[in-house]
Amino acid sequence: MRTGKDTEPRLSIAPLLLAICLSAGILAAPSANALSELQKIPGQADPQAADQQNSGQSQTPSSTSPGVPMPDPLVSKDSSQGSDKTPGASDDSKPVEVIYDISKVPEPVRRMREQIVEAAASGDLERLRPLFGSGAEQTQVSVGEPTDDPIGTLKDLSGDPDGDEILAIMLDVISTGFVHVGAGTPDEMYVWPYFAEKDLKALTPPERVELLRIVTAGDLSDMQEFGGYNFYRLGITPAGKWKFFTAGD
């Protein structure tokens, strides 16, 4: 006896399998095409071009073809012809030779410096008086007209009534490096500190620290804006004459 299921029409399996295969082929084709159309990675060799080159055929490179650009030269002609001048210095400036070895100066200069150090370290301003000299050869301690009483002038410049501050400044100044200026001229001198002859905008970090032992950071900023060192400086001639101890430019 046939059931109700036997009465339902049966589908042929062959057409069904054919439909599945056709569907799979249609879906796979675009995927294969997509892989073949991937963009080449810039700089990657073209297999077709390589085959042509190997077969002896030459190709003219296109200016628009992708590729890795050639790097710029490490050193250009313009940069190799740069100036060796200190940054911030004027065109006619020369490098400043800073001296720290006091043995390199004449004996009279060493002797006078030693006497100044001893007198200043004593805390007694009067001990400087014999070192000043007198008359036209007297040590200059103020800018402008010479003073008849250099000790009194230094006391007035000091922040305390005994002149201890000015003695401390003198010690700080003469303890720095120094420079030899005006060699072979009547103005030849050994000058402390060397900042008096240095471009303050070109100071190295150690030089800045050395200068800040004498002045404040605010003073340094003002000096850089002013254009030069304008605090106390001390000069001794090659003959051992204490020429000046003054502040200003």
Euclidean distance between CA atoms 113 and 128, whole angstroms:
12
Euclidean distance between CA atoms 172 and 143, whole angstroms:
20
Who contacts 183 (Cβ-Cβ below 8 Å, separation ≥6)?
A: none
Give me the residue spans of the domains in the chain: 102-247
Euclidean distance between CA atoms 188 and 237, whole angstroms:
6
pTM over 0.75: no
Which positions of the chain have pLDDT values less than 50? Answer: 1-11, 13-45, 47, 49-50, 52-92
pLDDT digits (tens, 9 = 90+) for 167-195: 999 999 999 999 999 999 999 999 999 99
Euclidean distance between CA atoms 174 and 92, whole angstroms:
28
Euclidean distance between CA atoms 169 and 12, whole angstroms:
115
Please tell me the number of Cα atoms within 13 Å of 116 on its side-chain side: 29
